[in-house]
């Protein structure tokens, strides 16, 4: 079988590796527009901030290692420009030489990811100091700009995961940082009362947080930003982090279905309407595992899981992808903010009947030094106890509690079952009644 993969990073590289494990004879061609495959996108902000010191640490695998280990045929710096479904070929362009050619496939896997949204704000195209962050070249540009131009004032537009991580990273580099978010809160997966704790943490670390206002103009080549209320901000370096949208152009041009979220539509086996073409990762629309609705959730776990499933399905396994809960976490200076499933805002928007409880336990036994406060919220169905989602913010232990609840949701446990979970305990780690048990008691 000849399998062609478009995109050689999270989803694409995972699929390729799994395919070659399933069938050593499979001919796998991976097209990647960039120069790097299988790198750690998620580590990019930390390299800019200097926490990850070596650039090389970002490269999980190199083309050479992958080729030697798995025998893939990796075509880096090569863009797929069209899918010719009737002929079962893709058109490819070598970006280094300009050469174009066609490559035949039996099965095609699309994992082209999502690209940062660049809003049409007046003057934005003249701003040589404004950057988006998606890949290694973007990272190099920001890194070099900081080294060479020594900017003092940075403005980050957008308070999602990447915006917040970049705020921390640029503070690490001792820049004055302003974070602008058009909504009244950062980090949409959190409800406002938990996001407020993230706001405190940002302010505590001298991030100038501007909420509820957008940027209306870039002036003087981007060095002056005007906000919607007329406020002017000096910016030596601007990071645009207002979100991403699926790279759906190839699929659209090939007549594949695109959903309302902009993601490529796939069935539960991750197949598009053309059964020879699969699509995975940030480019697709997925089912919200809690509400059953179609959503776009660009995260690394789903891309990875889908990469593996797609390989299995190409070899006849028929493994369904069960949907995405959006389990996520970000470090915000001294706290972690984590969430899974549907928060109260989402449930309200969908008109789903819900109940919510809040608790404020200590991460571990109060009498043992180092216990830290946790703020937790659980949303659930008041009638049958189905767990809809959870959020946690705190300096210690937020990650494991959210992971336990994500597991409970995946396993179909109810709030009553949370009381019954026997979780690891010794004073440095938890209490005999873990915060997850407490949520169960509070909800029941
Ligand atoms: P990608 O990994 O983006 O790979 C797509 C690749 O396809 C790209 O390299 C692109 O060049 C290539 N491509 C596109 N079109 C073509 C074409 N026509 N021809 C050839 N090649 C093409 N997620 C988390 O869960 N946790 C995190 O902490 C986290 N941090 C992140 C930090 C940053 C800065 C960024 C940018 C993302 C982060 N993510 C994080 C998101 C995560 O990286 C993505 O969800 C994941 O990489 C998606 O995998 P993918 O395979 O769909 O797309």
Distance of CA 10 from the midpoint of ligand 1 (Å):
6
Return the ligand 1 atom nearest residue 307 CA.
51
Comparing 55-69, 166-180, 414-428, the range with the smallest average pLDDT is: 55-69
Distance, CA of 2 to CA of 243 (rounded, Å) = 35
Distance of CA 248 from the midpoint of ligand 1 (Å):
13
pLDDT in the model for residue 254: 98
pLDDT in the model for residue 179: 98
Distance of CA 382 from the midpoint of ligand 1 (Å):
38
Q: Is the CB of 92 under 6 A from ligand 1?
A: no
Q: Is a pLDDT exceeding 90 seen at residue 8?
A: yes
Under the banding of pLDDT at 50, 70 and 90, the label for residue 38 is confident
Under the banding of pLDDT at 50, 70 and 90, the label for residue 185 is very high
Distance of CA 260 from the midpoint of ligand 1 (Å):
21
pLDDT in the model for residue 214: 95
Q: Is the CB of 270 under 6 A from ligand 1?
A: no
Q: Is a pLDDT exceeding 90 seen at residue 35?
A: yes
pLDDT in the model for residue 360: 97
pTM of the model: 0.97
Q: Is the CB of 133 under 6 A from ligand 1?
A: yes
Distance of CA 395 from the midpoint of ligand 1 (Å):
28
Comparing 45-49, 96-100, 243-247, 366-370, the range with the smallest average pLDDT is: 366-370
Angle, in degrees to the nearest 10, between helices 300-314 and 10-22: 30
Non-local (6+) Cβ contacts of 163 within 8 A are 156, 157, 179, 181, 186, 239, 241, 242
Residue, of 40 and 345, whose pLDDT is higher: 345
Non-local (6+) Cβ contacts of 401 within 8 A are 338, 374, 376, 390, 392, 434, 435, 436
Return the ligand 1 atom nearest residue 36 CA.
9
Residue 257 CA from chain centroid, whole number: 23
Contact 20, 46 (CB under 8 A): no
Q: Is the CB of 341 under 6 A from ligand 1?
A: no
pLDDT in the model for residue 71: 85
Distance, CA of 70 to CA of 50 (rounded, Å) = 33
Distance, CA of 377 to CA of 3 (rounded, Å) = 45
Under the banding of pLDDT at 50, 70 and 90, the label for residue 60 is confident
Among all residues, which ones are annotated catalytic?
Answer: 42
pLDDT in the model for residue 440: 98
Q: Is a pLDDT exceeding 90 seen at residue 154?
A: yes
For 195-222, how does the pLDDT look when each residue is reduced to its tens digit (9 = 90+)?
999 999 999 999 999 999 999 999 999 9
Under the banding of pLDDT at 50, 70 and 90, the label for residue 61 is confident
Q: Which of 40-44, 72-76, 408-412 has the highest mean pLDDT?
A: 408-412
- Write the CA distances from 344 to 110, 117, 336, integer angstroms: 34, 26, 20
Nearest alpha-carbon partner for 166 in 133, 198, 135: 133
Structure tokens at 152: 């003092």
pLDDT in the model for residue 67: 86
Q: Is the CB of 80 under 6 A from ligand 1?
A: yes
- Region 325-338: mean pLDDT is 98
Q: Is the CB of 327 under 6 A from ligand 1?
A: no
Mean pLDDT for the chain overall: 96
Q: Is the CB of 42 under 6 A from ligand 1?
A: yes
Pocket test for ligand 1, best of 7, 59, 240, 305 (most atoms within 8 A of CB): 7
For 70-97, how does the pLDDT look when each residue is reduced to its tens digit (9 = 90+)?
888 999 999 999 999 999 999 999 999 9
Distance, CA of 360 to CA of 338 (rounded, Å) = 15
Non-local (6+) Cβ contacts of 158 within 8 A are 180, 181, 240, 241, 242, 243
Q: Is the CB of 79 under 6 A from ligand 1?
A: yes
pLDDT in the model for residue 63: 84
pLDDT in the model for residue 65: 85
- Region 172-199: mean pLDDT is 98
Structure tokens at 91: 């058109």
Pocket test for ligand 1, best of 4, 5, 6, 10 (most atoms within 8 A of CB): 10
Name the percent of the chain lying above pLDDT 90.
Answer: 95
pLDDT in the model for residue 62: 83
Give strand pairing partners of 324: 288
Distance, CA of 79 to CA of 269 (rounded, Å) = 26
């Amino acid at each position: 079988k000849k399998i062609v993969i478009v995109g050689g990073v999270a989803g694409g590289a995972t699929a390729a590796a799994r395919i070659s494990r399933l069938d050593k004879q499979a001919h796998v061609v991976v097209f990647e527009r960039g120069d790097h495959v299988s790198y750690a996108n998620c580590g990019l902000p930390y390299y800019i901030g200097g926490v990850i010191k070596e650039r090389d640490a970002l490269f999980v695998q190199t083309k050479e290692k992958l080729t030697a280990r798995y025998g893939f045929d990796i075509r880096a710096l090569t863009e797929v420009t069209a899918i010719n479904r009737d002929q079962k070929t893709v058109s490819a362009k070598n970006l280094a030489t300009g050469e174009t050619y066609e490559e035949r496939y039996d099965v095609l896997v699309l994992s082209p990811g999502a690209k940062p949204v660049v809003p049409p704000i007046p003057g934005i195209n003249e701003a040589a100091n404004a950057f988006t962050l998606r890949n290694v070249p973007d990272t190099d540009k920001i890194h070099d700009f900081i080294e060479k131009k020594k900017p003092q004032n940075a403005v980050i537009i957008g308070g999602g995961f990447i915006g917040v991580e970049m705020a921390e990273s640029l503070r690490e580099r001792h820049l004055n940082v302003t974070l602008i978010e058009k909504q009244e809160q950062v980090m949409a997966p959190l409800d406002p009362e938990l996001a407020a704790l993230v706001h405190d943490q940002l302010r505590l670390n001298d991030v100038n947080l501007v909420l509820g206002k957008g940027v209306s103009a870039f002036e003087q080549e981007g060095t002056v930003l005007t906000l919607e209320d007329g406020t002017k901000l000096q910016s030596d370096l601007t990071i645009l982090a207002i979100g991403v949208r699926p790279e759906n152009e190839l699929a659209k041009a090939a007549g594949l279905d695109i959903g309302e979220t902009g993601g490529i539509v796939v069935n539960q086996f991750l197949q598009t309407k053309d059964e020879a073409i699969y699509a995975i990762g940030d480019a697709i629309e997925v089912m919200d595992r809690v509400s059953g609705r179609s959503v776009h959730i660009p995260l690394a776990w789903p891309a990875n899981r889908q990469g593996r499933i797609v390989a299995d399905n190409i070899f006849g396994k028929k493994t369904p992808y069960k949907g995405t809960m959006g389990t996520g976490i970000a470090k915000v200076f001294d706290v972690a903010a984590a969430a899974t499933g549907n928060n109260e805002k989402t449930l309200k928007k969908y008109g789903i009947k819900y109940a919510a409880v809040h608790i404020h336990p200590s991460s571990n036994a109060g009498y043992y030094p180092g216990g830290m406060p946790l703020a937790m919220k659980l949303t659930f169905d008041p009638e049958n106890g189905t767990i809809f989602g959870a959020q946690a913010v705190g300096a210690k232990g937020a990650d494991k509690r959210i992971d336990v609840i994500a597991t409970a949701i995946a396993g179909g446990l109810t709030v009553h079952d949370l009381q019954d979970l026997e979780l690891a305990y010794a004073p440095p780690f938890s209490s005999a009644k873990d915060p997850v048990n407490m949520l169960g008691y509070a909800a029941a």
